[in-house]
Amino acid sequence: MGKHDTHPGNRADTKPPRHVAVAIVFSPNTRKILMITSRAHPHLWILPKGGIEHGESSGQAAVRESYEEAGTPSDVPPPTDEDRLVVLSLPSKKRSAIWHVHVLEVDQEVVESTSTWPESHQRQRAWFTPSAALENIQQWYTDESAKKEVDPGTDLEDEHEQDGKKGKGKVKESGEERRGKKDKKGGAMEEALRKFITLKGLDI
């Protein structure tokens, strides 16, 4: 991808967009969606997601992130690029992102058979009806406590992701910048969920 155009006098932003895999984990037998708690705000619920690592397809990254964050089976066949639910662009002054949203179908009892997973000490997981999942996402990006200033360098729901590596590349941002980024991400998650719900013909 080429460099971003910049206005005269502005500092050029040459960073390519960061590619992120998002997993909508759906249980066909219970018709519920798996969600995880935010590490930054443990009372709020989000979808598993994370940076696509070098050499990974977006489908492989979705399976890996869902396993690490939510404890779904690591051997779920990765969906292909053609199977992607949607690709969403999240523009940003500092670094834009491209979200590759995949659906992973795993029965609830299969997931619940495992009680520990890589991030089980950092997150909770739970299954929600489609309508409740939408409400959770809306609460995540409108919740007043999540809009308040957090520790410097915390990039909210980036979970410190930088090129697929968590805990690195922390950049200090103003509260306004973080809120704007959070609104974009929350809106993108809601858009992806609504598209999935419509595709499956689920009740909300």
Backbone φ, ψ for residue 193 (5° rounding): -65, -45
The confidence score (pLDDT) of residue 132 equals 98
Taken in order 18, 152, 125, 33, the sign of the CA dihedral is: negative
Residue 124, helix vs strand vs coil: coil
Strands 97-105 and 125-128: unpaired
The confidence score (pLDDT) of residue 186 equals 87
Query: Domains in the chain and their CATH numbers?
Result: 18-200 (3.90.79.10)
**Angle at CA 191, nearest 5°, toward 190 and 196?**
95
Alpha carbon of 142 to those of 18, 110, 124, 186: distances in Å? 24, 33, 20, 9
Q: Which two tokens stand for residue 153?
A: 């360098």
Percent residues over pLDDT 70 in the chain? 75
Q: What is the mean pLDDT of residues 180-189?
A: 82
The span from the first CA to the last CA of the chain, in angstroms, equals: 39
Beta strands in 73-128 (DSSP E): 86-90, 97-105, 125-128
* pLDDT per residue as tens digits for the range 60-115: 999 999 999 999 999 999 999 999 999 999 998 889 999 999 999 999 999 999 99
Percent residues over pLDDT 90 in the chain? 65
The confidence score (pLDDT) of residue 174 equals 56
* pLDDT per residue as tens digits for the range 15-44: 899 999 999 999 999 999 999 999 988 999
Residue 71, CB-side half-sphere exposure with 13 Å CA sphere = 23
The confidence score (pLDDT) of residue 11 equals 47
